[in-house]
Every structure is written in structure tokens, then in C-alpha cells.
Structure 1
Amino acid sequence: MTVAAHTGVHRPSEELHGGPRRLVGPLAALAGRLPGVHDLLLVQCPGSLRPLGGGGLPAWARQVLRAHPWVTVGRAPVVAGPPVDTPYPVRCTRDASAAPGAWLPVTVRGPERGQRLDALAPRAAVARTLRPEQLPGRIGLLAPERLAAVPALAVLTQAGQLVADHRLAWGPIGAVGYELGSGEPVAGPLSPLRLVLRAPQPVSRRDALQLRRALSRLRVPVQAELETRHGAVLLAEYAAAPPAVTLLTPDGPREVHDPWFPRGLYA
């Protein structure tokens, strides 16, 4: 499988809980119709987001969402039906075909360290979705000064070439992915380069070790995760060949022997 760098771009200036919930299931299990973990969502009516802790959005989150209403899909199940503290129906609809009452787990990223808010966003309010695989093609939208100031951005193409040698689809996540998708300069000089590597089929420990070693030679720390059909495992952990690895799933972490054929109790 070759790496596809999607070049279709658009300027990023575009524009509870506590009650019983019915879990619809992991995002990846819903026939591909819903966005998946690490996807970036452009939402209209950002005030329709509902924090997981209940109550309203904090002031910093409202300010961020007014300026650039991009959120990141989290690794959690989709929720059916409105949160119990929603006083009125969500009338903000971009996708008329969206499943009614489907709420996506998302994270709002703030400008300060530690400013992260887990929330639910109504599926019908999603105006645009960007997958991590689409983001490398947006590197040309950034000013040259950003590439010079942020090493993690500067080595993105080189890292992609190393991953391509192992025939894995990939994309940046974390601060680098958010900046490429939203256009907001959130990555800093010390930001690591976080990557998701699509691995629906098993990857050998030998290949994982070779890739980890190649990525470790870059001039910035690289944190890569292998995304299987059941969840994600850190590339470095899998390459070290321990008896068991931690598989990150929508329902929490699990200690498993094989992330492609997981068995074992939740950690």
C-alpha cells in the first residue's frame, strides 16, 4: 500500500451528561460514515458543544472556538441522544444526512499548556472533516518562517518518506496536525512530531524496530502509533517486543499480546 498525500486544500479561515447513555459503538465500526479518531472537525455553532464534565464551555474554550472552530475527534464511543443537560434541541445543521442525535467525542485545544477540554459535538454541526492522511499536503500553506521555527514541521516530509518505505499510510496528529489543519500556529520549537500509522494488517516486530530506529534519527522526537482495527499501540512499545502491549481502544486501554488479535483484560 502506497502513501497517498492528498493535496486538496482549503484556507483554514472557513468558517450531560450524568444521565443514561446508549453507546452506538466505536467510530471506526460505523461503516466509515462518521469521522474517526484524530480527525479534525470544523464545526459551526461551536456553542453546541457539551463538556463531558457537564455545565457550559469555559471562557477560554469559547474564545478559541470563536476564532477557529476546529476540534479533534477523541478515542471514545459515539453517544446517541442529546446530553441530559441540553436545554434545547441543536438546530445547527450542516449535514442533513447525519444520524439524528449522534454526538461525537472531541477535544478542544487551548493556547496554554494543559488547556484541553473533552466534550461532545453534534454530528449534524460538522462542516468539514480532515483526516490525518490529508494533512501532509497542506505543508505548503504554512509560511517558510514556521518551518524554520518549528523543527517538527520541518522534518515532516522526511518522516513521511521513512514511513513510506514501510508501505504504511500515515498522517501527523497532535500540535503539528492541528496546525496543518486549522492554520493556527500552535506547534512550538520543542513540539514532538506525533504520527498515526495505519496498520489494518499485522506489522512484524522486525519492521517496527527498523522504522522506530529510522525515525529516532530525525532531529526531533517522534511519537508514532500503529492504528489497528481494534485500537492503537505505540510503535516504540511494540518494537521492543514485550510479552504484552497496551492497546488504546474506545473503551479504554487493554493489555494484549497481539494488537491485531487482541485478547486480555482491560488495564
Structure 2
Amino acid sequence: MRDALPAVAVVALLVLAGCSGASAPSDPTATGTTTDAATTDEPTTSPATTTQSAASGYPPGVSADGVENASALAEAHRASVVERGAVLTATTRTNGTVNNRTVAVDASETARLTANASELRWSVSATTTRGNATTRLDERYYANESTLVSRVEREGNVTVRSRNRSSFWNRAVLGAASKARIVNVTLSNANYAVADVAERDGRTVTTLVAENGTYSGRQPVVEYNATVTVAESGRVLSLTRSWTSETDRSRTRYVSELAWSPATSVERPGWADDATPVNASQ
């Protein structure tokens, strides 16, 4: 755990941090066909949208008045992702100044979780610039039902480790794809109104938008915007948020986008064969 966690902690803060992620921890290539559309929350084709005139089919924790129970919605999302699998794609862009020094982060993340969370491929990459210094990070993970393998590359050094998929690491596997705690914190940081309820390829999708002036999360934040689209089952389809933090010594702009699509099959990567086992306690 000591080998991988420093890098994981850094990326968690960069990719999923900021005003809502600051209260939450972190949570490749794959081939195959999507799961049966009849049993998933996501369409397999570009949706044709028809706006409903009457609101109906709200997700758990949501009513005509907006989000009433963020935890219930986040749990429904997590349960859907774990049961049916998902492909998560996420990007974060950060630009600003700290003590008159430019700071920028460009990060991306992909997690592919199969149904019932039996296998995972998860990759995170980030480029961070502080003044004239630039650092790059590349992390990759593969998990089956018993083992988690990590490949961490920093400053040209590559470390490949394998460990048992204990209850601790199982939570990391589930969080990598669901980001349920990020969903929960994001929806808890502001009041959300129902901006739209639409039929998309035979399912009801609700669009939630953060109301101006209601942000109550980590400070100092001078501007906050967020939009979340959710299927009737509670599966979050997309989450976009942006905010600006400002102090006497810094001003930073964050933009974070997450999207969930249907699950695909996952194959064990070749680099996992080079892993060195670590003790169960690590």
C-alpha cells in the first residue's frame, strides 16, 4: 500500500478534488460488446430526446422540488454501477495562480467495471505544472475477484505490485467506477432544481442544476456551477461541475466532467504478469 498510495492520493486530489472533492477520497483498454440494453440504464446509441411536459419517474432522492436526499441518490447510483457494471470517463482541468506562480493540471481517468464488480481496469494520468516545473503521473490498475494489481509510473520509474483484493481494496475498486461519494458530496454542496425531465430512448432522464448562490461546501469559493443527469433508476449518466476559488494569494478555476456509459468486457493486461506480490497488510 505504501508504494501506490502516495500517487493515488495525489491523483485523487487533482482529478476529483476541489470544492466538492475536497471532502471525498479517490476512488485502459478493454474489448467486448455492451451489455443487453434491455437490462441497463444507458442507451447504446445516441439518444433522441423528447422533453416531457409533466414531470414523472424521478430517481431515488429526487422530487419535483429537486434533490431531497443526496445519499439515497448516490447509493442507488452505486448499486446500479456495481450490479450492472459501467465505463467511467472523467477529466479535470485546473488553471490558476498561487503566490503569483502559475498552477495548471490536466488530468483524465477511465474505469471499466464489469457486472457484479468481478473485474476492473482503471487508468489515471495527470500533467501538473507549477511555475516552470512540470510533472507527469501514470497509474493503471487491474482487479479480478481475488487480486488487485497496480502499475504506477512517476518520473520515469515504474512500480508494478499485486495484492489481495481485501475489503479495503474492494472499496477502492467499487469507488473507482461509481464515484458514489463524489456524487453524494457534489449533490450535498448546493441546492439543485429539476431543469428538465425527458424521455431518451424509452427511459426517463432527469437533469439537475445547482441553484445560484446556494453552494455550502468547502470555502473559499466565489463561483460554483454543476449539472447532473440521472436515469430513473438512480444511475448517474453525467456530472459536470466547475468552480472558482479565491484567496488573497490565489485564484484557481476548476472544471470537472464525469460520464458513465454501458459496461464492456475487461481483459487482464500484459503488464500485470510483471507484478511483485506485497504483504496482505500493505
More strand by share: 2
TM-score class, shorter = under 0.3
More helix by share: 1
TM-score normalised to structure 1 length: 0.25
Q: With a CA cutoff of 8 Å and minimum separation of 6, indicate the structure with the bigger relative contact order.
A: 2
TM-score normalised to structure 2 length: 0.24
